[in-house]
Structure 1
């Protein structure tokens, strides 16, 4: 049952050292504010799952929070590498990190299997691909009905999932619009789910019934954080801050500059700072 609370409380009560955690968002609605709060609270030994790790996982890895990444693409979207992740993998700075790489199809199916309570996902994939040679969690299975050889991967069932969304109503139901990605399945697959939202409204009347609504009983905690997905965007609220992605490529290239940036922009910052960061990016409603 969803409870409304400040972000620091939501993170503190639902994320623990050693957890398997998903901070999901596909280009859009990335839960940056939640990730920054996790960084401020200094969690350790996390297994971080996400289809497309970008800046927030680069920051969390660079702060030494992750022991393992499970993903299907890792990079600064539209720019290039995640330099802190590469430094951790290649040089063990600030600590070594294990990686488990999949395809997008595998990750999407693994989340769906987790949401359904299944132990693994079965799909057509990895034919002619080399990932199975370096990832022991990619298996093959023979269909008992057709004899077809299919791929199988473990389901994704995080201890906790964090997402960002547009709105919650006063009952704790959450509305997700725009590119939904795998957020719904990531919430349903998790033992606990924390959602940051732009605003709380009385109800969702007047909206199309096919919009993605996560009912209150699927969510553990909701925190109101306007601008909470910056520098990614929230459909209907503000645009993507492309300049910040370009800046991050330079910031993350140097360990000392990275550490100083994190101290100034994350450790010393507060969730309410996000609203000002998106003020010039807001779209007309």
Structure 2
């Protein structure tokens, strides 16, 4: 059942060293503030799970929080490489990083299988793909009805799923609008779920078909963190901060520049700083 907590308390209570954690978001509603809190608390030996890990996973890896990443595509969207990710893989700085790479389709199916309580995901995929050669968790099975060769991979069941959303009501239900990838499935597949939101309201109004509501019984902690997805965007609240993604390329190339940026913007800044980074905080119009 959902409980309203500060972000610091939620991360401290539910995210432990060595956990499999998903900070899930797909260009939209990426939970940057929550991941920063994990960095501030010095979480270690995490297995990071996510479709399209970008800047925030670069930061978690560069700060030594991660031992492994399960992912599909990694990069700074619209810019290029993730330099801290690459440094960890190529030079083991600040520590070595194990990789389990999948396709987008595989990750989406694996989350769905986890949410459904199934041990694996079965789908059409990986035919002729090199990932089967380097990833031992990609298997082939034969359909008992058609004889077709299908791909199978383990279901994804994070210890903790962390997402960002627009609203929670006082009951603890969470409303998500706009582009989604696997946030809903990640929450339903996880053992524990933390949701940061732009605001807490009495109840939801003007509901329409293009939204998702996660009921309070699927969530463990709700944290009100205005601006908590910055520099990604939150539909109806603020736009994507493209300048921040562009700037990250130069910052993350150099280890000392990276460490200085993290000290100023993460280690010495709390979640309240996110509200100051978006203008306007709430525009009232879809982004």
Shorter-chain-normalised TM-score: which range?
over 0.9
Per-residue displacement from partner, 1:160-219 (whole Å, max 9, x unpaired)?
000000000000000000001110000000000000000011111331256200000000
Aligned match of 1:119: 119
Aligned match of 1:223: 223
Q: 2:53 touches 2:74 (CA, 8 Å); kept in 1?
A: yes
The 1-side partners of 2:270 and 2:91 are apart by 31
Q: 1:196 touches 1:224 (CA, 8 Å); kept in 2?
A: yes
Q: 1:239 touches 1:281 (CA, 8 Å); kept in 2?
A: no
Instruction: In structure 2, list runs of 5 or more residues that go unmatched.
Output: none
Aligned-pair Cα RMSD in Å? 1.0
Instruction: In structure 1, list runs of 5 or more residues that go unmatched.
Output: none
User: What's the CA shift for 1:279?
Assistant: 2.2
Q: Secondary structure at the residue paired with 1:252? A: helix
Normalising by structure 1, what TM-score? Answer: 0.98
Per-residue displacement from partner, 1:95-118 (whole Å, max 9, x unpaired)?
000011000000000000000011
Structure 1 residue 207 and structure 2 residue 207: aligned? Answer: yes
The 2-side partners of 1:149 and 1:8 are apart by 47
The 1-side partners of 2:165 and 2:210 are apart by 16
The 2-side partners of 1:206 and 1:18 are apart by 42
Aligned match of 2:14: 14
Aligned match of 2:80: 80
Aligned match of 2:56: 56
The 1-side partners of 2:127 and 2:215 are apart by 38
The 1-side partners of 2:276 and 2:248 are apart by 19
Q: 1:240 touches 1:281 (CA, 8 Å); kept in 2?
A: no
The 2-side partners of 1:284 and 1:170 are apart by 21
Normalising by structure 2, what TM-score? Answer: 0.98
The 2-side partners of 1:209 and 1:250 are apart by 41
Q: Secondary structure at the residue paired with 1:279? A: coil
Q: 1:241 touches 1:281 (CA, 8 Å); kept in 2?
A: no
Tell me the number of residue pairs that the alignment of Structure 1 and Structure 2 aligns.
285
The 2-side partners of 1:150 and 1:196 are apart by 37
Per-residue displacement from partner, 1:37-74 (whole Å, max 9, x unpaired)?
00000010000000010011000000011000000010
Q: 1:138 touches 1:151 (CA, 8 Å); kept in 2?
A: yes
